[in-house]
Chain A
Amino acid sequence: QQQVKQSPQSLIVQKGGISIINCAYENTAFDYFPWYQQFPGKGPALLIAIRPDVSEKKEGRFTISFNKSAKQFSLHIMDSQPGDSATYFCAASETLSWGKLQFGAGTQVVVTP
């Protein structure tokens, strides 16, 4: 049973457009929500992360929005570029769980020129 549900499975966006990926979770003990970016043939790499004490975090063109009451969080990629074409995974973990991450199923983003 997937503890973190991610949608959509895939996404095609034009260069300059906005990519939005959504994740939902059930475990209210989760208190750390990272997003990982993975290019073909590579391992995932941390892109941006948020904790529930804030509702939004922005780093460059990447923004996480967090809704604690709805148990949802999302990644927004502004001004999408062809170099952003990758698979994105949301994840969640709780304090005192030895950093064990529960991953979403992933979203393949393709940015067309």
Chain B
Amino acid sequence: NAGVTQTPKFRILKIGQSMTLQCAQDMNHNYMYWYRQDPGMGLKLIYYSVGAGITDKGEVPNGYNVSRSTTEDFPLRLELAAPSQTSVYFCASSYQDNEQFFGPGTRLTVL
């Protein structure tokens, strides 16, 4: 099993550009999550999904969108990138509300 995979590993965007961060898991987990990690702030939940076709906002959803068309994939879309979205983004998955397994992260810089 690959676990939770994320692409790309690194990305630099210009202000106003858009991009999609990819996340996939092969553990047949029903719950998936997107977090952002900023220095000294811990991890903040952006969006989460409890199954294909079901998504909901977390603590910091502004400027982001998600979709979940399959159990395996949970992409995060950034529209009109802003410097405040410079962060490290982690995707995680779990079976129900048990242990969350995290991907390796995507480091995004918006200039």
| Chain A facing B: main interface SS | loop
The number of chain B residues with a CB under 8 A from chain A is 26
What chain A residues lie within 8 Å of B101 (beta carbons)?
45
What chain B residues lie within 8 Å of A89 (beta carbons)?
42-43
A103/B42 in contact, CB under 8 A: yes
What chain B residues lie within 8 Å of A42 (beta carbons)?
104-105
What chain A residues lie within 8 Å of B45 (beta carbons)?
100-101
In the complex, the number of residue pairs spanning A and B with C-beta atoms less than 8 Å apart equals 59
Question: Which of B4, B96, B97, B103 is packed against the most chain A CB atoms within 10 Å?
Answer: B97
If A99-B94, A100-B48 touch, whether A106 touches B102 (CB-CB below 8 Å) is no
Chain A, interface residues (CB within 8 Å), range: 20 to 34
**Interface residue B1 (Cβ < 8 Å from any Cβ of A):** no
What chain B residues lie within 8 Å of A78 (beta carbons)?
none
Measuring CB to CB, which residues of chain B are less than 8 angstroms from any residue of chain A? 4, 31, 33, 40-45, 48, 50, 56, 58, 90, 92, 94, 96-105
Which residue of the partner chain, among B48, B58, B96, B102, contacts A44 with CB atoms under 8 Å? B102
Q: List the A residue with the shortest CB-CB distance to B35.
A: A103
B31/A45 in contact, CB under 8 A: no
| Chain A 37-51 per-residue mask, 1 if CB under 8 angstroms from chain B, else 0 | 000011111100100
11 inter-chain pairs at a CB distance below 8 angstroms, sorted by A residue, are A42-B105, A43-B92, A45-B101, A45-B102, A95-B97, A98-B31, A98-B97, A99-B31, A99-B33, A100-B33, A101-B45
**Interface residue A65 (Cβ < 8 Å from any Cβ of B):** no
What chain A residues lie within 8 Å of B56 (beta carbons)?
98
B58/A100 in contact, CB under 8 A: yes
A46/B42 in contact, CB under 8 A: no
Measuring CB to CB, which residues of chain A are less than 8 angstroms from any residue of chain B? 2, 4, 6, 9, 32, 34, 41-46, 49, 89, 93, 95, 97-101, 103-106
Which residue of the partner chain, among A43, A98, A105, contacts B50 with CB atoms under 8 Å? A98
What chain B residues lie within 8 Å of A97 (beta carbons)?
97
User: What is the CB-to-nearest-CB distance from A19 to chain B, in angstroms, rounded to a whole number?
Assistant: 18
User: What is the CB-to-nearest-CB distance from A55 to chain B, in angstroms, rounded to a whole number?
Assistant: 22
